[in-house]
Amino acid sequence: MEIIIGFIDLGAMGKPMASNLIKKGGSLRVYDLVEEKMKPLIFQRALSCGSSREVAAALSTKGVAPLIHG
């Protein structure tokens, strides 16, 4: 089963943490109010969401659903 990790708020701590999870092979769904903050992670294969609710919905459909707020 694929584990989907959600990251909401890609600030000074969240962005590097999310990037490290991608490098380790994690499947990420990301959201930030500032769309520009998501672009580097999308380039690294994260999938962007349009809201924090959308991040949570993506996780709940996969069974295992850790949600990290950076």
pLDDT category at 45 given cuts 50, 70, 90 is very high
Please choose, from the candidates 31, 53, 33, the residue with its C-alpha nearest in 3D space to the C-alpha of residue 41.
Answer: 31
**pTM of the full predicted structure?**
0.80
Q: Tokens at residue 41, please?
A: 């992670």
Architecture of domain 4-69: 3-Layer(aba) Sandwich (3.40)
- How do the domains of the chain map onto residue ranges? 4-69
- Please state, as a whole number, how many other Cβ atoms lie within 10 Å of the Cβ of residue 65: 16
Q: What is the pLDDT of residues 6-39, one digit of tens each?
A: 889 998 988 999 999 899 887 899 999 999 999 9
